[in-house]
Amino acid sequence: MTVHGVRAEICWNDLRTRIFALAIKLTGNRFEADDLTQEAVLKVRAKIDDFRGESQFF
């Protein structure tokens, strides 16, 4: 894996952790938070090319 690939993976892991923390806070249920996190990350990955950087990523 390249340095760029490692950095991207670290960013994705950080994003996933932050989304999961928010989902757990909102739902109070680990399993529901897992599902919501997976759905959110899939949506982000599908739309990442549309992100123009005009706002904060998270």
3-class secondary structure per residue, 13-55:
HHHHHHHHHHHHHHHCCHHHHHHHHHHHHHHHHHHHHHCCCCC
Q: Pseudo-torsion of CA 3, 4, 8, 13, nearest 10°? A: 0
pLDDT band at 56 (very low <50, low <70, confident <90, very high): confident
Q: What is the largest CA-CA distance in the chain?
A: 37
- Provide the pLDDT confidence category of residue 18 given band limits of 50, 70 and 90: very high
- What pLDDT, in 10s, does the model give residues 20-47? 999 999 999 999 999 999 999 999 888 8
